[in-house]
Amino acid sequence: MDNNGVGSWLHRRRAKSGPKAALVSGSQALSYADLANRTDRLANALVARGVAKGDRVAYLGENHPSFVETFFACGLVGAIFVPLNTRLTAPELQFQLQDSGSRLLISAASLEAVAAASVVDTAVTHRFVVAPDGGSEGSAVKLPSGVEHYGEVIDAAAATPLDVAVTLDDGAMILYTSGTTGKPKGALLTHGNITWNCINTVVDMDLNRDDVALMISPLFHVASLDMGLLPMLLKGATVLLETKFDAGRVLKLIGQHKVTTLNGVPTTFQMLCDHPEWSTADLSSLDKLTCGGSAVPQRVLDAYEERGIGFTSCYGMTETAPGATMLPVSRSQEKAGSAGLPHFFTDVRIADPIGGLAPAGAVGEIQISGPNVIKEYWNRPEATADSYAGSSWFRSGDMGFQDDEGFLFVSDRIKDMIISGGENIYPAEVEALIAELPEVRSVAVIGVADDKWGEVPRAIVTLLEGASLTEEQLRSYLEGRLARYKIPKSVVFVEEMPRTASGKIRKAELRKQFAS
């Protein structure tokens, strides 16, 4: 094949694993042959609507076979896939569609209203809407002019396989990650970034074709897609797609399908072990649990240890596609608190304040290099230049140290990012909207500990003299402008902000005073 990218994977899997179950979603099951055939049809449909190599195609929807089909169809065409977070508001989605220049949007029928609002003033010229079953049952639903039913598009398209020349250096996917400026920036992952990340995952997790993975986290998150779904399909294993997370249902599915692999964030694992059916659920098949996003509470670790299940902790970020390090289960107790060793084809170092290498045990900036690390942000040359030390070391913005065996320990974040239930929240984005309120003089958003979500945002606000504003009014203003998980769960009004000599707010002091 001339296509050496991810789009070729299903063609190769069809030959090796044709009849085997690739995806199970509710009552729908697709073999590798089925999935490859449907992807061929979708790829031809994209081309028929003018999508060419390098064009961007966006997807807005929950975990569903159509998400997977769209990803691989883009790979066949050489187009760039843009997965969108379903929890974002129309203005937030509109920005990402505008910034990426996406020409076509595929969305779930349940999100039709926000999809229609988000494409206004964008480059989107075609839209497909996916019925709940992915087929043409939704044809009875009346859609706006120019919007097509996904199932009908698939059924009408040619099944002829495409073979567009795609290299590992070509762009495959744009994932949006917010920054300290408040505007999200698109991390451009190449076919090589994704491929090498999947190889790292297969090697370090010892995945095999008999594995069964249950996807309980949204595929629009890079960890769920690139460390959960794609390595399994690369290996020829089976993936169960869950649209929504329900702890009781997950416990039943594990026993019913003999699930071997589960990845998620601390909150989901905590909700599982807190469920009334936890102690009686059949978890005997589980042998690969990976958790990222933030530290796992000790009581959760203990609950799984009591059931004979160990955790593999991970560290990474969107820009590393996302794996950087992984802690082997065999060392989880001995190296408690560690994020593990660098992935097989990835290097990690700790830089001191002047850019030199820090000795073992000394805290410095975590920097990552390897074929899984992105080379650029989409249309952001300045952000790209600022993110690298030298030509190949990505500056994570996180602080940590390595012990004398090379195990990484994450100490703190240089950036102010808040991780809430696995979702990244960048205070600058929230602060910018709160600052639009005419009553607000200054604002700072910090993370506070939360038993369920790990962290939640809290706004510290000073008002203009004589102004009046309540917590309820502030939160109400943000409704519809920000995803709900980004809206501060509490607001503290203060007379003055602690500031540096240059006038910058001292967030460290705010955390000491208000983060408890």
pLDDT(344) > 80: yes
- Quickly list DSSP for 65-132: HHHHHHHHHHHHHT-EEEEE-TTS-HHHHHHHHHHHT-SEEEEEGGGHHHHHHHTTTSS--EEEEE-T
In the predicted model, is pLDDT for residue 140 greater than 60? no
| % of the chain beyond a pLDDT of 90 | 79
* 436-456 per-position pLDDT tens digit: 899 999 999 999 999 899 999
> How far out from the chain centre does Cα 291 lie?
13
Query: For residue 178, what pLDDT band results from cuts at 50, 70 and 90?
Result: low
Residue 468 CB neighbours (<10 A): 8
Evaluate the CA torsion angle 115, 117, 121, 126 in order and state its sign: positive
Residue 135: the pLDDT is: 55
| pLDDT attached to residue 80 | 99
More confident residue, 226 or 508: 226
pLDDT at 284 over 60: yes
pLDDT at 426: 81
pLDDT of residue 516: 81
Residue 246's nearest CA partner among 283, 275, 220, 266 is 275
CATH placement of domain 6-166? 3.40.50.980
Would the pLDDT of 275 be above 60?
yes
Boundaries of every domain in the chain: 6-166, 418-514
H/E segment holding residue 398: strand 393-402
Mean pLDDT over each residue of the chain, to the nearest integer: 93
End-to-end CA gap in the chain: 57
Read off the pLDDT of each residue in 81-92 and give the average, rounded to a whole number: 95
Q: What pLDDT is stored for residue 422 in this prediction?
A: 86
Residue 411 predicted with pLDDT over 90: no
Mean pLDDT of 357-380: 96
| pLDDT(182) > 70 | no
* 418-514 CATH fold: GMP Synthetase; Chain A, domain 3 (3.30.300)
Taking residues 360-383, what's their average pLDDT?
Answer: 96
More confident residue, 361 or 137: 361
